[in-house]
A and B are shown apart, each in its own frame.
Chain A
Amino acid sequence: QSALTQPPSVSGSPGQSVTISCTGTSSDAGTSNRVAWYLQPPGTAPKLIIYEARNRALGVSGRFSGSKSGNTASLTISGLQAEDEADYYCSLHTGSNTLIFGGGTKLTVL
């Protein structure tokens, strides 16, 4: 079973940009664009923000962008705002039709 590794935490000041990485260990991670990103504010359900590695979900701010290179997908949040403070999770849909989540990254806006 593949695994997705995210940094446990990142931080930035308002107005800055931060990038969260998501590195996979399997061949799926290298060849598949079936990567998604979710944000989860405290006490709420996750919300889809990026799908297919780089496409923004409907209604999501343009400050959120996704990319992928090799086994690593990245989520960049520009123009940080206090409301961006949340946990962020990446996910990968594998060739065997299973879904893997990364361990999550806590974003702190300083």
Chain B
Amino acid sequence: HLQLQESGPGLVKPSETLSLTCNVSGASIGSYNSYWGWIRQSPGKGLEWIGTIYYSGTTYYNPSLKSRGTISSDTSRNQFSLKLTSVTAADTAIYYCAGDQYESSWFKDWGQGTLVTVSS
């Protein structure tokens, strides 16, 4: 049974870098045809895709982030991470990590989410 768990600071100052990690259990993030992503949800708003890292290490990002986001993976620790630079209050959101072991087009398994607040 695949499980994902987000971790990281709950409070980040404006202009600084938001860093989150997703620990995966029940599957290897380097497994062929597995896909891992970050999605966020601002308070009271809808879902916004941030980006996806493929099992191969290839990454794709939401163009609206204007290159502020970077997703990386550490197969030795079976975790993947998100870094979002130059954050503003608009980046305050619940951040979810998610994965799918077969498809890049949707995510079957999700973490519980972690709230990150951007404030001085």
Binding site for B on A (CB under 8 A): 1, 34, 36, 38, 40, 44-48, 51-52, 57, 87, 89, 91, 93, 96-104
Say whether B56 faces chain A, with CB atoms less than 8 Å apart: no
CA–CA, A103 to B42, complex, Å? 12
How many cross-chain pairs have Cβ atoms below 8 Å apart between A and B? 61
Would A48 and B106 be within 8 Å (CB), given that A1-B63, A98-B60, A98-B63 are in contact?
Answer: yes
- Which of chain B's residues has its CB closest to A105's CB? B46
Shortest C-beta distance, B119 to chain A (Å), equals 22
Say whether B69 faces chain A, with CB atoms less than 8 Å apart: no
Residue in A1, A34, A89 whose CB lies within 8 Å of B64 = A1
Q: Are B106 and A101 in contact (CB under 8 A)?
A: no
Range class of the B interface residue count:
20 to 34
Residue in A45, A52, A89, A91 whose CB lies within 8 Å of B110 = A45
Say whether B11 faces chain A, with CB atoms less than 8 Å apart: no
Which residues of chain B in 26-67 are interfacial with respect to chain A, using CB atoms and an 8 Å cutoff?
Answer: 37, 39, 46-49, 52, 60-64
Q: Which 3 A-B pairs have the closest CB atoms?
A: A93-B105, A36-B106, A99-B49
- Which of chain B's residues has its CB closest to A38's CB? B47
